[in-house]
């Protein structure tokens, strides 16, 4: 079935690293995405990874994929107050994206 | 860089009225997707189009219809609106040349049904 799950809330201090976790269900080859949504705004594509990869790094963002456990994580290094937002994990099924419920990241200064 | 454009950004309608939402994809993108995000919820896929043909269908009510035009813009038509239709409606676009791997979302249309 199509199911993507995320932890709902994460609070970190400014300058610390944030790790947002996600689990997915599809066992076939697919793409996995991280989107950021600020209050009242649209979804910003942050990064994505193909399921045959283990890791992808893009500036402050690191995506780790554990295929065996179907576990995806997004690490944000040196978290800033501007990183406060909802982060959605999504899995691609055919053309469509199936999203997790979103993780609220709160960054304390 | 040009992004996905949606109009209107905000729309207020009464129950049983109709609404039309418009989406202009990123230039040279040939695929559009519509998603619905209820308050405090994750986006849910409604429907997608590639080269003016419906390519996939999700949880779109029969009261809704959509199409993609020759200039690749898309419209979502919503009839007999219900209070539960109040949500943020996103359009996203991608290109087959890019492997459809990157879906870029517009800013959304916030529909309020009273």
Chain segment A40-54, per-residue pLDDT in tens: 889 999 999 998 899
Contacts of A79 (CB under 8 A, 6+ apart): A12, A13, A14, A15, A16, A17, A18, A105, A107
Q: How confident is the model at residue A102 (pLDDT cuts 50, 70, 90)?
A: very high
Chain B residue with Cα closest to A38:
B107
Low-confidence ranges of chain B (pLDDT < 50): none
Q: How confident is the model at residue A1 (pLDDT cuts 50, 70, 90)?
A: low
Contacts of B41 (CB under 8 A, 6+ apart): A101
Contact A44 B56 (CB under 8 A): no
* Contact residues on chain A for B43, CB-CB shorter than 8 A: 43, 88, 97, 99
B99 CA: distance to closest CA in chain A (Å): 10
CA gap A101, A72 in Å, rounded:
14
Give the gyration radius of chain A's Cα atoms: 13
Contact A41 B107 (CB under 8 A): yes
């Amino acid at each position: 079935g199509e199911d993507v799950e995320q932890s709902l809330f994460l609070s970190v201090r400014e300058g610390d690293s944030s790790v947002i976790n996600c689990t997915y269900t599809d066992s076939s080859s697919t793409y996995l995405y991280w989107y950021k949504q600020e209050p009242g705004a649209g979804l910003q594509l942050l990064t994505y990874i193909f399921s045959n990869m283990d890791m992808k790094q893009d500036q402050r963002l690191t995506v780790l994929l554990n295929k065996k456990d179907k576990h995806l994580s997004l690490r944000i290094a040196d978290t800033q107050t501007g990183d406060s937002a909802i982060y959605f994990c999504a899995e691609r099924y055919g053309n469509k994206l199936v999203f997790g419920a979103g993780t609220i990241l709160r960054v304390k200064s | 860089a040009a992004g996905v454009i949606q109009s209107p950004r905000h729309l207020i309608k009464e129950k049983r009225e109709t609404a039309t939402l418009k989406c202009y994809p990123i230039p040279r993108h040939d695929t559009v997707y519509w998603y619905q995000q209820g308050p405090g919820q994750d986006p849910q896929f409604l429907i997608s189009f590639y080269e003016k043909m419906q390519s996939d269908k999700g949880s779109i009510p029969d009261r809704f219809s959509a199409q993609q035009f020759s200039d690749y813009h898309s419209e979502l038509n919503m009839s007999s609106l219900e209070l539960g239709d109040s949500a943020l409606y996103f359009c996203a676009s991608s290109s087959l040349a890019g492997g459809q791997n990157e879906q870029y979302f517009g800013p959304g249309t916030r529909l309020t049904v009273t």
